[in-house]
Amino acid sequence: MARPATAKPEPAATHTSNQLPNRERPGEPTRFEPTKEQLLEFYRQMLLIRRFEEKAGQLYGLGLIGGFCHLYIGQEAVAVGLQSALEPGKDSVITGYRDHGHMLAYGIDPKVIMAELTGRGAGISKGKGGSMHMFSVEHKFYGGHGIVGAQVSLGTGLAFGHKYNEDGGVCLAYFGDGAANQGQVYESFNMAKLWDLPIIFVIENNQYAMGTSTARSASEDQFYLRGESFRIPGIQVDGMDVLAVRGAAERALEWVRGGKGPIVLEFKTYRYRGHSMSDPAKYRSRDEVQQMRDTADPIERAKKELEGMGVGEDALKDLEKQIRAIVAESADFAEQSPEPDEKELWTDVLVETY
């Protein structure tokens, strides 16, 4: 609730934080109930991200991708479930460096994403951004950022833009459990609530930052509570279940579009690969990763539900085949298309004041 701008002195009293004032809160989200076609589409998108990322990992191993490369394998349900609830061309999205999956979830051509990874001129950032710096202004996707936490402040700015321009849009700012410990996140929380900006703070809690578990690094590891002292409500969601993600997205959008200001969504998820391609992952056991793969995989879960809805094995195999072909084509394209022209060194670089 917005408070009057001029604060009146209040009589002193003793309070403890276990007497948090009664605040309006969003209702419990419900799991989305999809049609067969909708679930097939979620499954297709998650599988495309998985196969694309596996191929990117191979190309990296072959030396065709240079620099940093952070894979999204394991976390596919988060981007797919959230993005499916947005209004294309109206709502904006911003994320960190683990950004290939978000691009794919928009339906952006995998060829231009893979070509960006290999640093080719046909890449979505003309081959000059690489894995961490992909943008599609057309889709209102504002990157792809390598500075941990920066996207939260920038996303708050995007939300300010939505409110200022009265365009009805909501910004989704994704960040990790590690980024959630950054100071600028809380400066952004403060302003976002003070001005009731239309923003969903999406915490992708994959349980690890670069080489540190949340158990070792987070004093409050229930990240959905992190907005409470700014009067921002939070919801914790199973991020390995695309239908739970979509259900929570709808609840959050209803809250924000209703003019109630920001909300925090924490998704409990897991990354199967190292932090980046150069991570030996000594901070967790292989068994732990295997157990998550065996018991919580978002794609397997959706597949089982599709089978339950009567989708046959042949149809699923066909889909897998189609996706493998799309990914192979994107890899060929990314290998064969030319590097950026030398004169591109001087474009998209700010050399004057403005």
Binding site for Mg ion (CB under 5 A): 176-177, 206
Cβ at position 200, least distance to Mg ion in Å: 18
The contact pattern for ligand TPP, residues 238-277, with x = CB under 6 A and - = no contact, is -------------------------------------x--
Q: CB-wise, 131 or 206, nearer to Mg ion?
A: 206
Q: Does 148 bind ligand TPP (CB under 6 A)?
A: yes
Q: Does 176 bind ligand TPP (CB under 6 A)?
A: yes
Q: Positive or negative CA dihedral for 110, 116, 119, 123?
A: positive
Q: Which stretch binds ligand TPP (CB under 6 A): 10-18, 111-119, 170-178, 304-312?
A: 170-178
Q: CB-wise, 272 or 333, nearer to ligand TPP?
A: 272
The contact pattern for ligand TPP, residues 57-96, with x = CB under 6 A and - = no contact, is ----------------------------------------
CA-to-CA distance for 98 and 92, rounded, in angstroms?
A: 17
Kindly state the DSSP code that residue 237 receives in the 8-state scheme: E
| Closest C-alpha to 34, from 44, 23, 22, 19 | 44
236, amino acid identity: Q
Cβ at position 314, least distance to ligand TPP in Å: 36
Angle, alpha carbons 44-48-51 (nearest 5°): 135
| Closest C-alpha to 102, from 37, 40, 174 | 174
Tokens 């200001």 sit at which residue? 261
Q: With contacts defined by CB under 6 A, how many residues of the chain interact with ligand TPP? A: 14
Reduced to 3 states, what is the DSSP secondary structure of residue 325?
Answer: helix
E runs forming strands in the chain: 92-94, 171-176, 199-205, 234-238, 263-268
Cβ at position 227, least distance to Mg ion in Å: 18
Q: CB-wise, 183 or 308, nearer to ligand TPP?
A: 183
Would you mind telling me the total number of residues written for the chain in this entry? 354
CA-to-CA distance for 92 and 74, rounded, in angstroms?
A: 24
The binder of ligand TPP chosen from 82, 104, 179, 202 (CB under 6 A): 179
CA-to-CA distance for 79 and 73, rounded, in angstroms?
A: 11
The binder of ligand TPP chosen from 51, 98, 139, 260 (CB under 6 A): 98
| Closest C-alpha to 148, from 182, 120, 187, 113 | 182
The binder of ligand TPP chosen from 210, 309, 315, 328 (CB under 6 A): 210
Reduced to 3 states, what is the DSSP secondary structure of residue 5?
Answer: coil
Q: Does 163 bind ligand TPP (CB under 6 A)?
A: no
Using CB under 6 A as the criterion, which residues of the chain lie in contact with ligand TPP when the complex forms?
98, 146-148, 175-179, 206, 208-210, 275
